[in-house]
Structure 1
């Protein structure tokens, strides 16, 4: 039985494909997971995911399987299955998606939803995502991310947690502030003060509602915007850094590499090469 490499490429915010294909393998095993999120949608046939406690869960038509970053991955064809057709996507979520991906868990870091009632709509969006992601066009990755966002919106009503929680108005205000002032230096303490909370209370409430710390959220918004600017403008790395509130280009490059797994310059080059691929 063949296994996929232990790491997926990190130079793009979204990498998608379909199995079976001509590079098909029967099983993917990544003991340390990946630095991005992974979504696997079963079209038909039967797959399986092996959990850290060694139990196995079968994947059937309509199952949406979601791995969070650095979660061990072990999935593939179900035992004795003749086929397993699926669409997969590695991605770095837009910051406002984080709360949407709080799915029921098979195991820590492994979420699942059953989409039998909306299977056709989700499949259509995922196929559109693959088509635009692998096509020409300067904004192809943004278009692919838009299609994936529609998938998550379609999946949200399927979540049994849907409607059980709502965002605290102070946290909502903080999200708006970050979005409106992404080009400015922002820190957790001043953001908490603006919404009337101490740093510690703000951090606790934000993490409880958004599943990430406020500092991680702020940085992800800035770096995601910076990545888009690198691929859609001729600005220098220093100019992009300054436009997103980073006073030091060196610090910006360090954080960018940590987030995307590559330098800003290499990220831009990869995007330019990809835009010409068939």
Structure 2
């Protein structure tokens, strides 16, 4: 759930302080300049093209960091879904404050998506906050792919490439052949390598990810079951219902009425 968003060009003499009782998470994208952040007797400088995560109840003070002629940032205040929490464990620079450099790769995509989240939130589209929350989740997913603390960074590059595709392109017509091409391996070598490093087959991992996405859509939207199926990459709604029941022990409609 998004509580608020904002973007500002700050004066060089601007100072902001957050008290320790603030109960929400904040993700920020530093657009220009730099800021000095102080918290609990320690300090760090955050520069442009950097993402930051601030945990709840983290007191801090920010002011101009000495670089550039201005400093500007975009931020999103939110309450994460439980399944997001493992993806928010970024490298910590101060107690409760974590950062990721966002000048290339998935982190750069996450940086752009934070700005898009704000634009959706203040826009005029119907269901604008749903668009904003979807974009925020995509930002967190892309940041997770760049997070050096994430478990997938210990995996073979081919496996990491496949996991990135599954976690960001799950709605596409992906199968083991497509994932093997993305990974740059033969199908047989890819399937063996993936199962050895992940502990399950590429097909099972992809299906489990799609089912998790479907669970969210069933609870958070009023989409018909066939629309949910199509949205998560199941062209056949009957096959989707069968696989959903296999994973959850109930039909999609039953899950919508009484989610776990």
- Kept in 1, the 8 Å contact 2:17–2:62? The answer is yes
- 1:168-189 Cα deviation digits (max 9, x unpaired): 99xx9xx99xx69x8xxxxxxx
- Residue 70 of structure 1 aligns to a residue whose secondary structure is coil
- 1:71-130 Cα deviation digits (max 9, x unpaired): 113223225763111111101112221110011112332111111214653343223212
Aligned ranges 1:1-278 → 2 under 5 Å:
13-20=2-9, 26-52=14-40, 54-79=41-66, 82-118=69-105, 121-162=109-150, 163=152, 225=219, 228=220, 243=257
Q: CA RMSD in A?
A: 3.8
**2:177 match:** none
Question: How many residues in Structure 1 have an aligned counterpart in Structure 2?
Answer: 175
Unaligned runs of 5+ in 1: 1-11, 183-220, 231-241, 247-278
- Kept in 1, the 8 Å contact 2:51–2:111? The answer is no
Q: Which has the larger radius of gyration?
A: 2
Using CA pairs below 8 Å that are at least 6 residues apart, which structure has the higher relative contact order?
1
- 1:51-84 Cα deviation digits (max 9, x unpaired): 21x2221110122111111111322322576311
TM-score (norm: length of structure 2): 0.55
- Residue 50 of structure 1 aligns to a residue whose secondary structure is strand
- Kept in 2, the 8 Å contact 1:61–1:116? The answer is no
TM-score (norm: length of structure 1): 0.52
- 1:31-55 Cα deviation digits (max 9, x unpaired): 2142110112111211121121x22
1:76 to 1:154, Cα distance in 2 relative to 1, 3 A: farther
- Residue 129 of structure 1 aligns to a residue whose secondary structure is helix
- Residue 5 of structure 2 aligns to a residue whose secondary structure is strand
User: Which protein is richer in helix relative to its size?
Assistant: 2
- Residue 82 of structure 1 aligns to a residue whose secondary structure is coil
CA distance in 2: counterparts of 1:89 and 1:167, whole angstroms: 32
- Residue 80 of structure 2 aligns to a residue whose secondary structure is coil
- Residue 20 of structure 1 aligns to a residue whose secondary structure is strand
- Kept in 2, the 8 Å contact 1:48–1:59? The answer is yes
CA distance in 2: counterparts of 1:67 and 1:75, whole angstroms: 12
